[in-house]
Amino acid sequence: MESDDEMIDESMEDDFCDLSDYYDDPNDNENDSYSNDDDDYGFVEDVDDDDQDGAVSRRSQLGYTVLKEADIKQRQEDDISKVSTVLSISRVDATILLRNYNWNVSKVHDEWFADEEGVRQSVGLLERPVVQVSDARELTCGICFDSLPRETITSAACGHPFCRACWRGYISTTINDGPGCLSLRCPDPSCNAAVGEDMIDKLATAEEKKKYSRYLLRSYIEDNKMTKWCPAPGCEYAVEFASGSGNFDVSCICSHSFCWNCTEEAHRPVDCATVAKWILKNSAESENMNWILANSKPCPKCKRPIEKNQGCMHITCTPPCKFEFCWLCLGAWAEHGERTGGFYACNRYEAAKQEGVYDEAERRREMAKNSLEKYTHYYERWASNQLCYQLKLYMSTVKHEASCAYNDRAKVGKANNLNG
């Protein structure tokens, strides 16, 4: 299957005035990148717990599987056990290997059996210490340089000695910095030895261990090209997508439907590239520029855009410019008067217009107006649809929370009845 970047990596046009590339005729199906055959298309409706198996079956038929946290943990543990057993290494080392190869078990096996020494060197799995620590009763910490009792000194597989206090500070800082702690290495700048979960369990606080475990769990989804988190706010489900499926629309258990390819709201039959252009257009300054071009003219002196919505043709630019000019021909107002048509007309403009002097400027302004009207037409409908969808998602969330609360109360009531 192609990567996400390859799927939506298309050149974006810079000309925002011409929207013909962004908005096709609703009745024109020639540019649809999806087949009009709807046999493989459908959303999974909200289901009760009793119908969960049926929902999973339908999702499997559509080419994807929704994973709960327990499912993710089980798959992660199975992969770690598989690598640990086949390669005859510890679970800690197997976890480090899988992390470095994006949790791809097959790739780990292929690389390991092709060049075990090279793999060990690249990921930091040392077979023996690179530093021989003396048998002295006191050792010097490589960070604080204090001489401390041997039992307060610990090291990774490389053997570099550091005191527990420095180790705790080092581990705490990296975990609080984010998921980069999963690639933790020996504090010695010249050492490449990996620091595994065993050191975290031995030296980190309970809160830090919880964060590390969370990062590790999330990496199983985020580093895998075939799985993604559901983008709905607050949703903790993930979706595994089957390679080769032509329909990217998926429906999570939380009732949120989205495109697995670009993670935007489900948009079939519109292709992801068009959706990306639409989102860019809504977030960029292009429509501001279109509005300025359609509804204003630049001051002939300072070029600042000026909007005229009423009054005569005598325009005075704002300070510090203060240039006075005619709105129609943009000439200096000092050259205008009764002989040129007064305050509400301009003979010079009419004469020049007949000669075609303003044809290009008028054409551009007319294009901008048409573009703005077309964009507004589609944007209002899109915004209305977004509002309705967000309301539907909110109501679904409230309904789910209320159902969970009711079930919890029912269980408590049943337990009290049994105890009574």
Catalytic residue among 302, 312, 388, 404: 312
**Cβ pair 88, 157 in contact under 8 A:** no
Distance, first Cα to last Cα, the chain? 59
Cα 41 to Cα 259: distance, rounded to the nearest angstrom? 12
313 to 42, 73, 168: CA distances (angstroms): 59, 72, 75
Burial of 155 (0-12, 13-18, 19+ CB in 10 A): buried
Q: Which two tokens stand for residue 12?
A: 């974006």
Phi-psi category of 299—alpha, beta or left, where left has phi over 0 and alpha has psi -120 to 50?
beta
Q: Which two tokens stand for residue 165?
A: 């206090």
**Cβ pair 91, 117 in contact under 8 A:** no
Phi-psi category of 191—alpha, beta or left, where left has phi over 0 and alpha has psi -120 to 50?
beta
Instruction: Assess whether 17 carries a catalytic annotation.
Output: no
Q: Is residue 276 classed as helix, strand or coil in its secondary structure?
A: helix
DSSP character at residue 265: B
Cα 31 to Cα 269: distance, rounded to the nearest angstrom? 10
- Which is nearest to 108 in space by CA: 127, 76, 84? 84
Q: Are strands 257-259 and 296-298 parallel, antiparallel or unpaired?
A: unpaired
Burial of 213 (0-12, 13-18, 19+ CB in 10 A): middle
Could you tell me how many helices (H) and strands (E) the chain has, helices first? Answer: 13, 13
Q: Which residues participate in catalysis according to the annotation?
A: 312
